[in-house]
Structure formats: C-alpha cells, structure tokens
Amino acid sequence: MMDTPNLNRKTTSRRVTMEDVGRLAGVSQVTVSRALSDPDKVSPKTLKKITDAIDATGFVPNAIAGALASKKSKLISALVPSITNIVYSAAVASFSSVMREHGYQVLLSETGFDPKDEEAMILTHLSRRPDAVLLTGIHHTAKARQMLLASDIPVVEIWDTTETPIDICVGFSHDRAAVKAAEYAFENGFTCAATLSAGDERALRRRAAFESRFAELAGAAVENAVHCERASLANGRDGLRALQAQSMEKGTFVFCSSDVLAHGMLIEASAQGLKVPTDIAIMGFGDQEFAAHTEPALTTVRVDRTTLGRSAAMALLSRFDSAEPIASVNDIGFEIVARHSA
Amino acid sequence: MMDTPNLNRKTTSRRVTMEDVGRLAGVSQVTVSRALSDPDKVSPKTLKKITDAIDATGFVPNAIAGALASKKSKLISALVPSITNIVYSAAVASFSSVMREHGYQVLLSETGFDPKDEEAMILTHLSRRPDAVLLTGIHHTAKARQMLLASDIPVVEIWDTTETPIDICVGFSHDRAAVKAAEYAFENGFTCAATLSAGDERALRRRAAFESRFAELAGAAVENAVHCERASLANGRDGLRALQAQSMEKGTFVFCSSDVLAHGMLIEASAQGLKVPTDIAIMGFGDQEFAAHTEPALTTVRVDRTTLGRSAAMALLSRFDSAEPIASVNDIGFEIVARHSA
DNA sequence: CTGTTAGCGCGTTCAT
DNA sequence: ATGAACGCGCTAACAG
C-alpha cells in the first residue's frame, strides 16, 4: 500500500549551515561554532539564541567540513580479519565503546586474512584521514607499513606482541600460549599429541610452537596434524576424521587452534562414541562462552578480549594527549583453563 | 630492544596534496584530480607523469576534502544493536561486502537496544554526512525519524517489515514466523507451551505472537513464560529452571527467542537428565551454525542473514542510481527447520 | 585535453 | 564576548 512515506524528499532545500543558524540567531557563523565547541566562551544570552536557532532549524553540524578545517577527523579506522568472528568483534566492541566515550567513531572493515587485501584497505582508510589506525596482527606488507609510517598517525596492532611494532602493540605471545598448552599436555601424562589448525597466520604459529615444545618434552615429533581454511564446527568434525585417517593413536592430545574447532571435534567424538578425554583429549583456544558448557567442558586458553580492546583504546588515548613515549608493547597475557576435555 | 620504529614521526612535513603532485608532474591540480577520477579524460603521457609523481610522493587522496566538495561521502552509516551478536554481524558483513564492491565504506556503531541511544547515535552519524543510513528494526524515536527524513538520504531498516518504513525496509515478519512456530508445535501434538525470551523488542513481539496463536489453537492460554535481558547460554540454563519453578508440565513445548537461549536450555535439560523432546521440547530461532550440531539437533526458524544484508545493499544501490521508486518493502521470508529437539 | 575560477562548511587566527 | 578574513584540499562548472 505504498503510502509514500518519503514526502519531503526531492525538495531542493540546501542543508542548514552554521551560517543559517547564525543569521537566525543574529550572530555570525564563528559564534555558532564557538557555542558548539566551547559554550563558555559565549554569553548566556547569545548561547540561548543560538541553541533555539539550532532547534528551530534542525541544524546538524557538518563533521566533514569540521574535519577539513581542523585536520582532526575524530575517526579511528579499524581493520580486522572478520567481524563475524566473536573473537575479533568482542575486542572491537570494547575498543569502540571506550573510543566513543572520548568522542571518536570507529570505521571498521574486514580484511580477510590476506595482507595484500589489508594493504589495499589501509589506503582506502587513510584517505579518510583517521586520527589513528587499529590493525590486527603484526604481519603487514612493506608498503602497508610505509604508508602507515608516512601517515604520521598513531597505529595500534592488536592480538599479538612484538619488539618492533609499527607504533604500539597490545596482545599476548602466541608462542608462549602454545608452549604452555604443550606443557599442560605433557604434565598431564600425554605422550602423543596432534594438532588441528585454521589457516590464519597466528593459528599456524601457535600450532608450530605447540608441536615443537611438545616434541621437545615427549622426545618424539608430533606426527598428526591437520589444518583447515577457517574455524567452523563442520571443519572441527572433519578434522577429527582427517586425523583418524592418519592413524592417530588412542589417547592422543589434540590441540585445536580455536574453541569452535575443538567443539566440532568434541561433537564428532561423541557421535563416534569416543570417550573424552580418555580415548581422545581435546583442547581449544579462546575460551568462548560455550566452552564451559560443552560435554565434557572444554579445556582451553583464555584470552580476555574485552581487556584487549580496552587496552588498545587506552594506549591510543594516552598517545593522543601526550606525544611523550608510552608503553609501546603491551602484553595482556593469557591463562590456561583446565576443564574436563583434556 | 626498541629500535625506534617511528623515526619519521614528528617531522613537520605537510601531507602531500594534489597540488604537490601536480607541481612535480608539471600539470595543474585539477588535472591530477581528473587523472584519479576519470583517467580517460587525460592524455596517456600526462597520466603517466602523474602516476609517477603519485608514486614518488606517496600521495594519498584526501577523501574528506573530496566529500566536502562533491557532497558525496561514499560513507554508509550502519546502526546495529550489537556487533558481537552473530545474527547482526553476519548481516552487516554481507551488506558491507556488497557496498564496498561499489566504492562505499560502512561506518558501524552499536546502539544497544534503546531507541534513545540510537537517536543520539543517528545524530552523530548524520554529522558525517553519510550517503545512506542502515538501521536495525522499525522502532525509532520520533525525533530520529524526523532527523532522518530531514537529512534527505536513503534509509534502510533491516530485520523487520512494515508498510510504513522511513524509506526502505528489508526483513521478514516476526509475527508470521512466530505464528508458524506455534502452528508447528500444535500440529506436532503439543498441548502445552511456554516461552523463553530475551528482552529486545523483536523477541518480545515473537513471543507474544507465539503465545497468542498457540492459545488460539490449543484453546488454553500459554501459562509459562520467562524472559531475560539478553541471549546467552547461562540465561538459557537459568530459563529452564525458572520455567520449572513455575511448575511447567511435562511434555511442554518451549519456544525460545534465539538459538543461543535454546542451546542453553538444551544443556540444562541434559544436565538434569531430561529427555528432549519427550520430557521437554525446545525450539530456537535463527538457525545458527551450531543448531544442526546440538544433541538433539535443534528445531528452529531459519533466517538468511547473508541474503538480508545483500538485499539491503542492493536496495540502496538501486536507489542511488535511480530516484525512481523501487520496492520499498522487501520480505526475505523465513523457514521452519524441523530437527529433533521439538 | 587542460587550466581558471569558485565554492563546499567549517575552524583558526587575529582584530575589536 | 564577538566578528572578519582566510584556508583546509578537493570537485564542479566553465573556458579555451
């Protein structure tokens, strides 16, 4: 029934400007600008006239013009591999929340897991003249680093640590986390281990660190390893079957690169009538909400995504109001959560 | 070891402009602008000189200045209740992906579930002069609607349908979905039903529609209903206990407002040794990935989030290049997925 | 094919 | 406490 809900479209009326507001209030454009940015610098009487004029006209400040004039966009660009992955979205959510409280908006984009795509997006983002950039991980193309450096704005790299960040990094050591996992396995009597990993760089790095540390402790290489494109329950189930096809020993400890993969494997194990953790032990990574509720409850590595996002925001904010050096590498740590699956 | 990775900070060097590029290439600033926006209008020779100059200087276009001059920001603002909820982030991801292919970037913000907060954010977003706005749901404050209308840009409301959208809407009927769920329950022989619902407006609307239709069919009101703040496994588990505290009959059909709540209830039922669906039948909403993998597999209502996002993007795009009326209400439908939990 | 001239709507400086 | 003038870096006409 299309009752033309958009009547007032098509009118050629220019958007209202500070000039218009000022005219109505009987003051100049600058005074309107002041009234908005620094009300104390305007007399109470004119302030009132101005706010009235704003209400009357429905004035909405033009942040684009403001940004061009002030060279401050109040925009932070954030690049994450995937926004549907709770692991990244939770960190971005807390980051955004803190930044917003300080008057910044976050322009978020998905990069996928390819540094080349990330590079292209960095260029697009930089053209919006963000006041800072947040990146995921510490691996970027040379050109990306160069553009970022040349842009001369703060950059935070999250989810990892390095001694040589572009500017600031906040995250944790994936190596150490995986090493701890290997030690956990060995200390709990496992003599045989396997890995199931997603294809992204950090997951692969954890896998490698786990395998190398476990081999060191057990005195034998980790023979069984499978990796898949992305973390999903289906890939977790398939992962177990793929491992079994490699003739994995009974009682093997499987280190998965994420809770979702581990959960999928748990489901497949249950479907096969396998006992966890005796027939097979399964460890996840991330400690997502469901991890405590699987059957059996999932042993995993906890990473505090909220803290991660908040720390990144705070690092940026402190950099904004002091050119002084702040901590450029921030380690938020991790924690092994021993439950019943491994 | 801090090898000062940020050497070229602090230099007072102005960012390079089209003017600079032009000077180096021996042409005027406009020609540089043309070379970038419409290479065909520039001779091959000067084009080459310009691209060389761009490489040499590391020029990054200033989209802010471009937007101010052209009155096109190539920015779409998107407001969703929560970005960590896969239900919203998946829709936004596909929306963003399509928009990006067409040269638009998406400025995403979380509104929570309060229309008042949404209103404030709409104002902030409009100040960036987006070329369009995407909103979640069809309930907004009067002032929000008015600002949107006055802004004179396309608006898409997603996740619901209405005969009177602000501009365009794409979603499905929550009423009809819940009615179908009630009919499914009744047709499968259930004579007693209950609901567990999160607190958001659409969830409550589904709950109401389910209860009213089921009561109509069964000839008796739905006695047991619980609702909670947000969807989480813990709230799903608590929800079952709360329902039991209301002395719910054995063999009751519970309609949950989301798969996550349903999953939590499934877990609690299992922990209590209840048989599903005989002791208690549980139905979810959303058909998230895990729904097919719970024990027993979750009966639910499927909503195609990817299609939702893509349709919203396409509706906008078609509106951009034709002021002509397009379909302003788009229904993407839903589907009852009968599995084993109900 | 290329350049000139005008803004876009603000913030910034400097007066008053 | 307020205003005038200028410029941010670019696109949009219009010339030539």
Task: Give me the CA B58–C1' D13 separation in Å, rounded.
Answer: 29
Question: What confidence score (pLDDT) does residue A64 get?
Answer: 98
> Which nucleotides of strand C come closer than 7 angstroms to any CB of the protein?
1-13
Residue of B7, B13, B64 lying closest to A67 (CB–CB)? B64
State whether residue B82 is helix, strand or coil.
Answer: coil
B109: exposed, middle or buried (C-beta count within 10 Å: 0-12, 13-18, 19+)? buried
Interface contact B129-A166, CB threshold 8 A: no
Residue B281: pLDDT band with limits 50, 70, 90: very high
Three-class secondary structure assignment of chain A? CCCCCCCCCCCCCCCCCHHHHHHHHCCCHHHHHHHHHCHHHCCHHHHHHHHHHHHHHCCCCCHHHHHHHHCCCCEEEEEECCCCCHHHHHHHHHHHHHHHHCCCEEEEEECCCCHHHHHHHHHHHHHCCCCEEEEECCCCCHHHHHHHHHHCCCEEEECCCCCCCCCEEEECCHHHHHHHHHHHHHHCCCCCEEEEEECCHHHHHHHHHHHHHHHHHHCCCCCEEEEECCCCHHHHHHHHHHHHHCCCCCCEEEEECCHHHHHHHHHHHHHCCCCCCCCEEEECCECCHHHHHCCCCCEEEECCHHHHHHHHHHHHHHHHCCCCCCCCEEECCCEEECCCCC
* Mean pLDDT within B234-253: 95
A-chain residues near B232 (CB < 8 A) = 289
**Contact, B30 CB vs strand C, < 7 Å:** yes
**How many angstroms separate the CA atoms of B14 and A258, rounded?**
45
B64 alpha carbon, distance to own chain's centre: 27
Question: What confidence score (pLDDT) does residue A9 get?
Answer: 37
Question: What confidence score (pLDDT) does residue A14 get?
Answer: 83
* Mean pLDDT within A197-211: 97
Compute chain B's Rg from CA coordinates: 26
Task: Give me the CA B54–C1' C3 separation in Å, rounded.
Answer: 20
CA dihedral A123, A124, A128, A134 (to 10 degrees): -70
Residue A11 has pLDDT above 60, yes or no: no
A328 alpha carbon, distance to own chain's centre: 18
Task: Give me the CA B29–C1' C6 separation in Å, rounded.
Answer: 15
**Tokens representing A155?**
């950059």
Question: What confidence score (pLDDT) does residue A327 get?
Answer: 83
Interface contact B105-A128, CB threshold 8 A: yes
B-chain residues near A6 (CB < 8 A) = 149, 166-167
Residue B283 has pLDDT above 80, yes or no: yes
**How many angstroms separate the CA atoms of A262 and A130, rounded?**
38
For residue B210, which of B226, B194, B231 has the smallest C-alpha distance?
Answer: B194
Task: Give me the CA A7–C1' D11 separation in Å, rounded.
Answer: 30
Mean pLDDT score of chain A: 94
**Tokens representing B208?**
């109401």
- For the stretch B202-230, pLDDT in tens is 999 999 999 999 999 999 899 999 999 99
Interface contact A96-B110, CB threshold 8 A: yes
Chain B closest-CA separation from residue A215 CA (Å): 30
Question: What confidence score (pLDDT) does residue B340 get?
Answer: 97
> Which nucleotides of strand D come closer than 7 angstroms to any CB of the protein?
1-5, 7-13
Chain B closest-CA separation from residue A108 CA (Å): 7
Question: What confidence score (pLDDT) does residue A113 get?
Answer: 86
Residue B127 has pLDDT above 70, yes or no: yes
* Mean pLDDT within A306-325: 90
**Contact, B28 CB vs strand C, < 7 Å:** yes
DSSP secondary structure letters along B310-337? HHHHHHHHHHHT--S---SEEE---EEE
**How many angstroms separate the CA atoms of A93 and A90, rounded?**
5
Higher pLDDT, B113 or B281: B281
Residue B3 has pLDDT above 50, yes or no: no
Residue B7: pLDDT band with limits 50, 70, 90: very low
A-chain residues near B58 (CB < 8 A) = 146-147, 150
Q: Which residues are registered as beta bridge partners of A226?
A: A196
Chain B closest-CA separation from residue A67 CA (Å): 7
**Contact, B62 CB vs strand C, < 7 Å:** no
**Tokens representing A238?**
């398939």
Interface contact A167-B86, CB threshold 8 A: no
Q: Which residue is closest to B110 within chain A, CA to CA? A: A93
**How many angstroms separate the CA atoms of B318 and B323, rounded?**
9
State whether residue B223 is helix, strand or coil.
Answer: coil
Residue A54 has pLDDT above 60, yes or no: yes
- Lowest-pLDDT range, A126-130, A252-256, A288-292, A319-323? A319-323
* Mean pLDDT within A194-200: 96
Question: What confidence score (pLDDT) does residue A247 get?
Answer: 87
* Mean pLDDT within B127-152: 97
Interface contact A293-B323, CB threshold 8 A: no
Residue of A58, A65, A97 lying closest to B150 (CB–CB)? A58
Question: What confidence score (pLDDT) does residue A10 get?
Answer: 38
* Mean pLDDT within A9-33: 86
Mean pLDDT score of chain B: 94
Question: What confidence score (pLDDT) does residue B99 get?
Answer: 98
B-chain residues near A88 (CB < 8 A) = none
Q: Which residues contact B10 (CB under 8 A, 6 or more apart)?
A: A323
A-chain residues near B168 (CB < 8 A) = none
**How many angstroms separate the CA atoms of A254 and A214, rounded?**
11
The residues of A between 52 and 81 with beta carbon within 7 Å of nucleic strand C are: 59, 61-62, 65-66, 68-70, 72
- Residue B214 backbone dihedrals phi, psi, to 5 degrees: -65, -40
- Which pTM value belongs to this model? 0.94
- For the stretch B99-124, pLDDT in tens is 999 999 999 999 998 999 999 999 99
Chain B closest-CA separation from residue A125 CA (Å): 9
β A155-158/A168-171 pair status:
parallel
Number of inter-chain CB pairs under 8 A, A vs B:
161
Residue A8 has pLDDT above 50, yes or no: no
Domains in chain B, ordered, with CATH? 9-61 (1.10.260.40), 73-172+306-333 (3.40.50.2300), 174-302 (3.40.50.2300)
* Mean pLDDT within B252-270: 97
Question: What confidence score (pLDDT) does residue A20 get?
Answer: 95
Show which residues sit with Cβ under 7 A of nucleic chain D: A 22, 26-28, 30-31, 34, 41-43, 45-46, 65, 68-69, 71; B 14-15, 17-19, 29-30, 33, 36-37, 61-62, 65-66, 68-70, 72
> Do B80 and B121 form a contact (C-beta atoms < 8 A)?
no
Residue of B64, B90, B96 lying closest to A128 (CB–CB)? B64
Question: What confidence score (pLDDT) does residue A12 get?
Answer: 55
Task: Give me the CA A19–C1' C16 separation in Å, rounded.
Answer: 21
Q: Which residues contact A301 (CB under 8 A, 6 or more apart)?
A: A177, A180, A181, A283, A284, A285, A286, A287, A334, A335, A336, A337
Q: Which residue is closest to A1 within chain B, CA to CA? A: B163
pLDDT over 90 percentage in chain A: 92
**How many angstroms separate the CA atoms of B258 and B9, rounded?**
50
Residue A323: pLDDT band with limits 50, 70, 90: low
Task: Give me the CA B29–C1' D7 separation in Å, rounded.
Answer: 16
**Tokens representing B288?**
């998230």
What is the per-residue burial (b if ≥16 Cβ within 10 Å, else e) of B169-204?
A: bbbbbbbbbbbbbbbbbbeeebebbbbbbbebebbb
Residue of A149, A163, A270 lying closest to B1 (CB–CB)? A163
Which of A17, A64, A72 to mutate against chain B (most B CBs within 10 Å)? Answer: A64
Q: Which residues contact A53 (CB under 8 A, 6 or more apart)?
A: A21, A22, A24, A25, A32, A59
A-chain residues near B127 (CB < 8 A) = 60-63
B-chain residues near A107 (CB < 8 A) = 105, 107-108
**Contact, A28 CB vs strand C, < 7 Å:** no
B-chain residues near A232 (CB < 8 A) = 289
Question: What confidence score (pLDDT) does residue B6 get?
Answer: 37
Chain A closest-CA separation from residue B236 CA (Å): 11
Residue B11: pLDDT band with limits 50, 70, 90: very low
